[in-house]
Structure 1
Amino acid sequence: MRTLIVAAFVVGIALLTLLFQASGDDTGFSDNLPDLFIGGTVLGAILLGLLGWRMWWLQKRIRRGVFGAKLTLKLLLMFGVVAMLPGLVVYGASVFFLNRSIETWFDVRVDTALASGVNLGQAALDDLLRDLDKKAQRMALTLSDEGMGTIITNLSTLREQSAVQELTLFDERGGVIAHVGSERGGLLPVLPDRAILWQVRQQQPYSNVEEAGERGLVMRVLVPVYTTALTGETRVLQLVQPVPASLASDAQAVQQAYREYQQISLSRLGLKRIYGVALTLTLLLALLLTLVIAYLLSERLGAPLRTLARGTRAVAKGDFSQMPSVTSRDELGVLIQSFNRMTRQLSDAREQAAQNHQETEQAKAFLERVLANLSSGVIVLDETQRVRTANSAAAQILGVPVMALEGRPLNLLGAENGALRDFAETVAVRFADHAGEWQEQVDYAEQGGKQSLLLRGTRLPVGVEQGYVLVFDDVTKLIDAERNAAWSEVARRLAHEIKNPLTPIQLSAERIAHKLDGKLETPDADFLGRATQTIVNQVAAMKGMVDAFAGYARMPRAKLAALDLNALVREVLALYDARALGLVLHLDDDLPRVSGDSTLLRQVIHNLLQNAQDALAEHASPHVELATTAWNGMVRLSVTDNGAGFPEHLMTRLFEPYATTKAKGTGLGLAIVKKIVEEHQGRIQIENLKTGGASIRIMLPVHTAAGENT
């Protein structure tokens, strides 16, 4: 084994010497290079075979379980890595300097000049494109309030003043409103892609140099045209201008010359490859010789380390009782003593770690129980604003599963939930703006309802793991209670301040009519009668409004009892024309009884049906669907119609008094419904349907045998 290694080492040195000598003589290098490569390859194959044979033998010992074989392999790999790193560094440096030397043989000034020419042509095109964009912006301002009657004339005027070949005005759907062009332009406009139109409507102008077939290179710019009217659509103005023929031809010529020069410069790769192969062969021979020598050294070093390896394996299995005896006083003896000391310390550390782990698990379990029983939502974020943990209250308030929160970055929350996405964006902005604690109240608009959340956030203090803590509460009921109290006070004052003068006003008008009855001529008497009747009618309407507000303020408390909701629905429906409403009933036959007040719930059903009837007053084919069903431990009553739905700007104020879309009325219907539902410990949701119409869903608690709500 050793003889073969020595012989291979001598032959390798000889081949490398001949290769270095031949590289100094061009003729000798070209003549002897194939033979040297073949000789080096053969020597490399011999060394590789020798190394492979010894590795196979070592692997066989490892499979047989010979102690120390794995240690020999590890030392071999370590020696190999130590030898390989300097060799790779030298190899990399040699290749780098070789390539740099060859590169200097070629004149880089031509390459630089051609590249500068290409850049110059691109800069000229960019200047033309910027100038065309400025023209487009000015035209957009001019056309912002133009009507359809003058749009063609103004476009033609603007095109002639700006010396632009084509102008085209599109509507929001991409349709052509107007198109003007010069004699050189096409009869039909160049239509942009829908994606480009969408980009421009998002206030992102588009400009680019494009190939337009027979027209050659053209510059195209698209900008939005806004109107001052609130309901006006956003149009899109397109300018098309050809690139000057001289500039286009010069730019293409420079680009073609640059490509041809690059192709010619590729011929240098052949010379680089020859020297690269020589360097690679030298490196491989050196590495193979190093690995073979490393194997021998590993075998020699492995023998005295077997004792230490035996103890190491025992420690790896968790046995800290076996400690190798010290038989020498050299560095190896010191190493074994250190190993024995380490073994004792590991034994003590393992016991301490087990105790600490148990304490940590207990503290973690206690913290999880505390978070699980908090009514406030708690979300913990790491330093990258990724959700580490969230309690059940947070998921319940946000209306999503806990798994949808944990482990996800804050900026990716709510990919399919707009409310959750807005919530996450607000939290991220507040953490970015505040280095310490912060507090803010935000609206969380779920599907069919809105919640008011009080957010409190802070960074974790220095000295602990970095991150953020967010605590939030649902204060919707508190705010609603304050708002209801305020409206009740308004209603009470209305009843006191407004209703008292109404009766004298009505009586005075009637007395005037009675006093002057028969004393005026017929036209004057008719005028007096109409005026008097108008006063009486308006006083009666104001009394009705005041009475409605007073009734809202003095809403009686619910007298809860077991109630058959289906029977109550049928009783109320007897007051309505089911055919005229297009009424469809879906009542659950197995519906459990609810805990409710029949008088108040009758008013709820009546208000909902009255709203649906008013919404469908002018509908050609009205349709109202009323359904009851058991849902998630509660009873759900839903009323759905195919009307126009609720305006989006009123969705967050529908339950406030005087929030109405009707020409007449106080807007107390839904406010009273919400107040009655909350009096029953229930919930109400409103949703505009995508197919048209609206759906109102009411959830009421089920009545239990003990008379308590579930």
Structure 2
Amino acid sequence: MTDTDVQQGDRPVAQVQIAGLIFAVLLLDRDLVITEANPAAESLLGRSTKKLIGTRITELVDFSQSRLEERLLASDQRLIARGVAAMVGDERKRLNLTVSPLPSNPGWRVISLSDGGRDDMGGEAEMESAVGAPAVLAHEIKNPLAAIRGAGQLLARKVDEKDRPLAVMICDEVDRIARLVDRMQKLGSNTPAAVGPFNLHEAIRNAMATVRAAAPQGVELVEEFDPSLPPVLANQDALEQVLINLLSNAAEACSGKSGAQTGGQIIVKTRFVSGLALSAIRLGNTVRVPIEITVSDNGPGIDPHLEPRIFEPFVTGKKGGQGLGLALVKKLVADMDGRIGHTRDDRAGMTHFRINLPIAK
């Protein structure tokens, strides 16, 4: 490609513009065979452009769950869909999709795809709406807690021995609510922690050591690190908190496999992913997030009915859970201009949480 091909004067040509898009763009022929693909399509579909070209789109993305394939076959039909259930390889996903027919070439169409069901793309407006309720609730609850606890302690000193456990229970419950309020306040904070360059694997090993010390017997934590990764641009304390939450959830999810022929296993993998970017609304620009951390476990996975909402406050599949852990994880990652997503590989029996973060310049 020559400089003339890349740009006309100071204006990039269409091919360069499409290559820079952060969502997948595919050109399909009359038989739904991919003839062109941009770099974002490689990331979403997990194949190189060379392997994508010549492959039928329905061999890569199974739309049978949403009964969309017959509409794709209608080559002259425009289509816009959000949150479409689909299988990409062995992973369940929800996709945003557009199909644009090309009148100049009957039967040909351009299709765009983006992950629209489980990813946090770092949008500040979305995050504010998600955490506003917990922040207000925390403010309203915290003030009277000290008075209630003080009254409980006073009762514990004055009541008869047989009634003292009730007074102690009041203090214990107040302490539990206070811890919950502290988590909600962190969730509602609008001041992100400062970011800087640091060694990614050092932070991961710190988090793994914390969780390993408390993990149920028989749960194995495995490292699959790329030692060539450069420093990441993030907040180390916040990232360690994110990883401790994810690893603790994974340990709990696969603890039931302890003592079985195949024990509980958590794999933490790092790699460099080229071409992946997100729109950071707070910064008003596009941020490339090529550093990827994947936390995988062989537990039973998340209830499919909860999957699209697992990063929302007060949504939980745990008995007695508060539903704030993953909401806080989402916020901390977004504050570092990163993204987090969840997928389930039913064939391999693995649940994956992927974090993508910027690289330190």
Give the AA of the match of 2:182.
Answer: D
- The structure 2 residue matched to 1:488, chosen from 118, 126, 131, is 131
CA pair 421-392 structure 1, distance change in 2 beyond 3 A: farther
Give the AA of the match of 1:608.
Answer: L
Which residue of structure 1 lines up, in the alignment, with residue 237 of structure 2? 599
Which residue of structure 2 lines up, in the alignment, with residue 694 of structure 1? 351
Alignment of structure 1 residues 264-413 onto 2, 5 Å: 368=15, 371-372=18-19, 386=32, 390=36, 392=38, 395-396=41-42, 399=45, 413=57
Give the AA of the match of 1:604.
Answer: V
TM-score, normalising length: structure 1: 0.38
Which residue of structure 2 lines up, in the alignment, with residue 270 of structure 1? none
- The structure 2 residue matched to 1:545, chosen from 167, 171, 180, is 180
* Number of equivalenced pairs: 323
Residue 34 of structure 2 contacts residue 57 of structure 2 at CA under 8 Å; is this kept in 1? no
- The structure 1 residue matched to 2:247, chosen from 609, 614, 619, is 609
Greater relative CO (CA pairs within 8 A, separation 6+): 2
Rounded Cα–Cα distance in structure 2 between residues aligned with 1:438 and 1:666: 39
Deviations 1:268-297 (A, max 9, x none): xxxxxxxxxxxxxxxxxxxxxxxxxxxxxx
Deviations 1:442-495 (A, max 9, x none): 3365465745526365674xxx55457556474845696444222211111211
Which residue of structure 2 lines up, in the alignment, with residue 414 of structure 1? 58
Question: What is the DSSP-based 3-state SS (H/G/I as helix, E as strand, rest coil) of the residue aligned with 1:583?
Answer: strand
- The structure number with the bigger radius of gyration is 1
> Is 1:643 paired with 2:281?
no
> Is 1:569 paired with 2:204?
yes
Give the AA of the match of 2:236.
Answer: S
Deviations 1:375-421 (A, max 9, x none): 66656667x6756865527735852655777677xxx6323532598
Residue 414 of structure 1 contacts residue 421 of structure 1 at CA under 8 Å; is this kept in 2? no
Alignment of structure 1 residues 111-190 onto 2, 5 Å: none
Which residue of structure 1 lines up, in the alignment, with residue 278 of structure 2? none
Question: What is the DSSP-based 3-state SS (H/G/I as helix, E as strand, rest coil) of the residue aligned with 1:498?
Answer: helix
- The structure 2 residue matched to 1:441, chosen from 78, 82, 89, is 82
CA pair 557-651 structure 1, distance change in 2 beyond 3 A: same
Which residue of structure 2 lines up, in the alignment, with residue 219 of structure 1? none
Residue 624 of structure 1 contacts residue 642 of structure 1 at CA under 8 Å; is this kept in 2? yes
Using the TM superposition, give the Cα deviation of residue 547 of structure 1 relative to its aligned residue in structure 2, in angstroms. 1.8
Give the AA of the match of 2:139.
Answer: H
Query: Which consecutive residues of structure 2, in runs of 5 or more, have no partner in the other structure?
Result: 1-7, 275-289
Question: What is the DSSP-based 3-state SS (H/G/I as helix, E as strand, rest coil) of the residue aligned with 1:648?
Answer: coil
| Percent identity of paired positions between Structure 1 and Structure 2 | 27
Give the AA of the match of 1:665.
Answer: G
Rounded Cα–Cα distance in structure 1 between residues aligned with 2:231 and 2:258: 37
Which residue of structure 2 lines up, in the alignment, with residue 660 of structure 1? 316
Which residue of structure 2 lines up, in the alignment, with residue 341 of structure 1? none
Using the TM superposition, give the Cα deviation of residue 510 of structure 1 relative to its aligned residue in structure 2, in angstroms. 4.4
Residue 75 of structure 2 contacts residue 107 of structure 2 at CA under 8 Å; is this kept in 1? no
CA pair 371-424 structure 1, distance change in 2 beyond 3 A: farther
- The structure 1 residue matched to 2:142, chosen from 458, 476, 499, is 499
**RMSD of the TM alignment (CA)?**
4.3
Larger relative helix fraction: 1
Give the AA of the match of 2:324.
Answer: L
- The structure 2 residue matched to 1:425, chosen from 50, 64, 69, is 69
Deviations 1:29-54 (A, max 9, x none): xxxxxxxxxxxxxxxxxxxxxxxxxx
Alignment of structure 1 residues 578-593 onto 2, 5 Å: 580=217, 581-593=219-231
Give the AA of the match of 1:533.
Answer: V
Rounded Cα–Cα distance in structure 2 between residues aligned with 1:673 and 1:454: 27
Residue 379 of structure 1 contacts residue 387 of structure 1 at CA under 8 Å; is this kept in 2? no
> Is 1:529 paired with 2:172?
no
Which residue of structure 2 lines up, in the alignment, with residue 671 of structure 1? 327
Larger relative strand fraction: 2
Residue 377 of structure 1 contacts residue 390 of structure 1 at CA under 8 Å; is this kept in 2? no
CA pair 620-559 structure 1, distance change in 2 beyond 3 A: same
CA pair 611-555 structure 1, distance change in 2 beyond 3 A: farther
Residue 376 of structure 1 contacts residue 471 of structure 1 at CA under 8 Å; is this kept in 2? no
Give the AA of the match of 2:321.
Answer: G
TM-score, normalising length: structure 2: 0.68
Question: What is the DSSP-based 3-state SS (H/G/I as helix, E as strand, rest coil) of the residue aligned with 1:414?
Answer: helix
Residue 39 of structure 2 contacts residue 49 of structure 2 at CA under 8 Å; is this kept in 1? no
Give the AA of the match of 1:543.
Answer: A
Give the AA of the match of 2:327.
Answer: A
Deviations 1:5-41 (A, max 9, x none): xxxxxxxxxxxxxxxxxxxxxxxxxxxxxxxxxxxxx
Residue 624 of structure 1 contacts residue 639 of structure 1 at CA under 8 Å; is this kept in 2? no
Deviations 1:47-102 (A, max 9, x none): xxxxxxxxxxxxxxxxxxxxxxxxxxxxxxxxxxxxxxxxxxxxxxxxxxxxxxxx
Question: What is the DSSP-based 3-state SS (H/G/I as helix, E as strand, rest coil) of the residue aligned with 1:611?
Answer: helix
Give the AA of the match of 1:606.
Answer: I
Give the AA of the match of 1:392.
Answer: N
Residue 438 of structure 1 contacts residue 456 of structure 1 at CA under 8 Å; is this kept in 2? yes
CA pair 695-572 structure 1, distance change in 2 beyond 3 A: same
Query: Which consecutive residues of structure 1, in runs of 5 or more, have no partner in the other structure?
Result: 1-361, 519-524
Which residue of structure 1 lines up, in the alignment, with residue 192 of structure 2? 557
Rounded Cα–Cα distance in structure 2 between residues aligned with 1:647 and 1:551: 26
